[in-house]
Chains A and B, each alone.
Chain A
Amino acid sequence: MANWIPLWVHKLSSPPNFYRFAGIVRPWALGLALITGAIALYGGLVLAPADYQQGDAYRIIFIHVPCAWMSLFCYGMMAVASFISLVWRIKLAEVVAMESAPIGAAFTFITLVTGSLWGKPMWGTWWTWDARLTSELVLLFLYLGVIGLYHSFEDRRQGARAAAFLALIGIINVPIVHFSVNWWNTLHQGSTIRILGPSKISGAMLWPLLTMMAATKFYYIASLFGRVRTDLLSMESGKDWVKQIAEAEGRA
């Protein structure tokens, strides 16, 4: 590894160290996800007023939008980890990239299904081939392509390299999803939340949305770390530290 990278990064990226680190962080991340998620659900489903046009149907926004953000965020994490794994061949980066894919696929699937359930009462259709919906569907196929390519190799590290290339090529779709509502005429509404400038949403609806966004981020950490731990154990199953864990859990 390059010598400008601090030593603690090097130490943390060794499988047994990261396994322990992830084991400590994971329950906290899951706890925070559950607490912030519960607060967001209470704020979104109970405290927030009904929308003046959409009534209570708009309440799907509190899961639809955070999951849509996560579908892009997970892709970004997967692409960055893929890049690191291709350049420096760090085993941990490969595992993070490959285990971000199923989480991203799960969030993309939720986004598509909840969007469909929202579209039926508001647009009068479950599905339409417009830019935002189609590019989000392509995102799901990219995730499934990465997962499929990874598992189609006998050697897992070889599979991870091939899938990392696909993940990097597919990053082109991320800005397309994000800007699709500006670039094309679409049935889907434009961005409501602005990082720069005021958002076009009432505060009573905004805070549950942002809280749920935090909850899904915490969930990502919890899920990713659980998946990485599982993968590290199976990749290193011949090593002594894994045998010790297997024996300890066998006695328990």
Chain B
Amino acid sequence: MSTLHTVNKSPFEKTSLDACLSHASAGANVLLMEDGVYAATKGTAVEQRVKQALDSVKLYVLGPDLMARGLSEDRVIDGISVVDYAGFVDLAAENDKVQAWL
């Protein structure tokens, strides 16, 4: 029983990432997409929170949304996997359900 959580808000604008990470069970998968990709970058105020979450959940970031915001993959925090839309589909299929934190 695993869930794919999708977070599409910047952590500097909304609290949905924090709510998601506080709620997600150990072993859950979290995909950062749209403005949510900002949370995946190094050197931000939420970096420690995100790194701490990596101890219990697996984090992914949508590559095309990083690129659309001028963020290169080398700025992504170690341990977060970059996926494309095909990878997003695979994650949705591999998990039992998909929960969007809108």
**A joins B in a complex:** no
Please give the residue numbers on chain A whose beta carbons come within 8 Å of chain B beta carbons, in ascending order: none
